[in-house]
Amino acid sequence: MKKTLLFASLLSFALFSCGEKSTTTETGSETHASGDASSANSVSVSSSKTTSGIIDAYLAVKDALVADDAASAAAKSADLVAVLKSYDIAGAQTNDPEELERLQVEATGFAEKLATADIAAQRESFQALSVVLKDMLKIAGTDRTLYHQYCPMYKGNTGGMWLSASEDVKNPLFGSSMLTCGRVEETLALN
């Protein structure tokens, strides 16, 4: 009986935490758990086709994690590693090629760790990769609008982020257990 009551309490907490329409952060700005990007910060990034392959491969891994498919995420990570390694920094129109190269190396390292069969380890590497890739795309540019999404409940409520091509939240850090937990934090919009 106690276990059932405890489980019901934890489930209620999880649903309540991710189901809120809006909350106020310490800075006083309004954030949304519904995936609504209308009040998210918008950052202008340059238009670039050079990152298309990286974004496509990243989104394929994200979709596999959303579907709780560790085998597919591991297989798709090989494509991501390949496009990251072959990314031509010299061809990128950037003022900071050294920082771009550092981010490329770091992103490749996290992408290589996705080759494991352990979905929890994949999700941890994917979250770290997402942070680095967002910074890389801000420098290198993108071929589409991307949404930086954030789930406050990931990793013991320390939170985690990922990038999506849609403002609809499909959480790769929890998959089917908390599929819509999260909100749009920032929009990477084309110039």
Residue 18: what pLDDT?
A: 53
User: Domain extents for the chain?
Assistant: 2-190
Helices then strands, each counted (H, E), the chain: 6, 6
Residue 184: what pLDDT?
A: 97
Residue 70: what pLDDT?
A: 98
pLDDT tens digits in sequence order for the chain, 191 residues long: 454 444 444 444 444 445 443 333 333 333 334 444 455 699 989 988 999 999 999 999 999 999 999 999 999 999 999 999 999 998 887 888 999 999 999 999 999 999 999 999 999 999 999 999 999 999 999 999 999 999 999 999 999 999 999 999 999 999 999 999 999 999 999 88
Q: Pick from 22, 56, 64: which is nearest to 146 by CA?
A: 56
Regarding beta strands 41-45 and 183-190, do their DSSP bridges make them parallel or antiparallel, or are they unpaired?
parallel
10: CB partners within 8 A, 6+ apart: none
Residue 189: what pLDDT?
A: 93
The pTM is what?
0.81
- Find out whether 165 and 144 touch, Cβ atoms under 8 Å: yes
- Find out whether 163 and 151 touch, Cβ atoms under 8 Å: no
Tokens describing residue 181? 């937990």
